[in-house]
Copies of this chain bind each other. A is one copy, B any other.
């Protein structure tokens, strides 16, 4: 094949907030109707205060049709085709933060200010819609189910089973656990077991944070102007909140007990990976520093960095050239390129140029792995079914230069 199979590890899809209504269980529709105007007002307030509505509005201008790809399959496939993307992973939150599912469902699933019943209702609504959306082009869409596992482990396993049976390709878990036990706790083993058994990769997506630390008591939608420094501190630390659940799973032995468990860390950049692995190795090694803390390694048969290499992949949205240059330190097998469409920080509508800038002149087998091969293996895709799409819209191998770039 003279074209690359390209898979985006990070796409976003979701209904405009009001349209989730029909997907919500009937008994929660009254609550939905009450919560909707509040959710919309808070989103607007946050956009005004934090997300800079003007910039977003400007960016969206003239792209109205393509942005409806957040929920419209025809519009979406046009964008995918133009970007040369054969298949993609689908997270919630279609157009930036405007299409969040109801009741705090999404990729944050914070455990404060919401009840388990409501959050589950919001997740079920989104998961139902997502399952329908996937069926509009099942070979191209890897839909993810939102699973707020903190509240009830059995319910989480049920949710994962439902997702598998309804054609979804993986799950999203809350990256922060509030006052619940962290992901080193063995209480989550039934969830890890279900994911391993059904081959459902787990996803943590960057973004959530303890917002009050940065933005004051009101969080993102708080009243006054953003305190100077808040956004800088947030963007410097955002990958921390992404990596914490993985750190706890690695040290707790989740991948020791469930060696085929898969985790993707999405849109947190990949720049932190080499130092993170070095740190895990250092902390796993016997050092005077850790000696006084007793034996904390005997339940692991290998270093946390080894589990990382075996079980973890990076959803490398908006991947810059620098990360391509660091690919051997990060791990070529770890990297799954992605677009983040239709978010404004994503590569669309400049995907082709940005992808060229990132990968130009690298060895073909490495480009092949990073733009799609790794993701196809991770999600167990049927590449035969994708072949006709690749033949039609995949980017030509020759378009990435001469293979003589930096080793």
Do residues B293 and A228 form an inter-chain contact, with CB atoms below 8 A?
no
Question: B residues within 8 A CB of A271?
Answer: 275, 278-279, 282
| A258 touches B (CB below 8 Å) | no
For the complex, give the distance between the alpha carbons of A237 and B234 in Å.
Answer: 17
For the complex, give the distance between the alpha carbons of A214 and B185 in Å.
Answer: 9
Question: B residues within 8 A CB of A294?
Answer: 50-52, 55, 226, 231
Do residues B345 and A288 form an inter-chain contact, with CB atoms below 8 A?
yes
A213, A230, A293: which has the most chain B beta carbons within 10 Å?
A293
Do residues B235 and A290 form an inter-chain contact, with CB atoms below 8 A?
yes
Q: Considering only CB atoms, which chain B residue lies closest to A254 in the complex? A: B229
For the complex, give the distance between the alpha carbons of A227 and B299 in Å.
Answer: 11
Q: Considering only CB atoms, which chain B residue lies closest to A54 in the complex? A: B294
Smallest CB–CB gap between A10 and chain B, Å? 13
Chain A, range 341-358, C-beta contacts under 8 Å to B:
344-346
Q: Considering only CB atoms, which chain B residue lies closest to A213 in the complex? A: B182
| A198 touches B (CB below 8 Å) | no
Task: Please tell me how many copies of the chain the complex holds.
Answer: 2
CB-CB under 8 A for A227 and B240, given A55-B292, A271-B278, A293-B50: no
Question: B residues within 8 A CB of A399?
Answer: none
Which among B59, B216, B231, B283 is the interface contact of A235 at CB below 8 angstroms?
B283
Chain A, range 100-120, C-beta contacts under 8 Å to B:
none
For the complex, give the distance between the alpha carbons of A212 and B56 in Å.
Answer: 39
Q: Considering only CB atoms, which chain B residue lies closest to A239 in the complex? A: B279
Proximity bits, A217-233, B CB within 8 Å = 1, else 0: 00000000011111111
Smallest CB–CB gap between A53 and chain B, Å? 10
Chain A, range 259-273, C-beta contacts under 8 Å to B:
271-272
Smallest CB–CB gap between A330 and chain B, Å? 13
Proximity bits, A170-190, B CB within 8 Å = 1, else 0: 000000000101101110000
CB-CB under 8 A for A182 and B214, given A235-B283, A237-B247: yes
Question: B residues within 8 A CB of A282?
Answer: 271
For the complex, give the distance between the alpha carbons of A232 and B304 in Å.
Answer: 9
Do residues B251 and A292 form an inter-chain contact, with CB atoms below 8 A?
no
For the complex, give the distance between the alpha carbons of A105 and B62 in Å.
Answer: 59
| A253 touches B (CB below 8 Å) | yes
| A39 touches B (CB below 8 Å) | no
For the complex, give the distance between the alpha carbons of A56 and B291 in Å.
Answer: 9
Which among B50, B96, B345 is the interface contact of A289 at CB below 8 angstroms?
B345
Do residues B252 and A56 form an inter-chain contact, with CB atoms below 8 A?
no
- 18 A-B pairs within 8 Å (CB atoms) are namely A51-B292, A59-B292, A96-B292, A182-B213, A182-B214, A226-B296, A228-B252, A228-B299, A229-B253, A229-B299, A231-B251, A231-B290, A233-B247, A236-B251, A236-B280, A236-B283, A237-B247, A271-B278
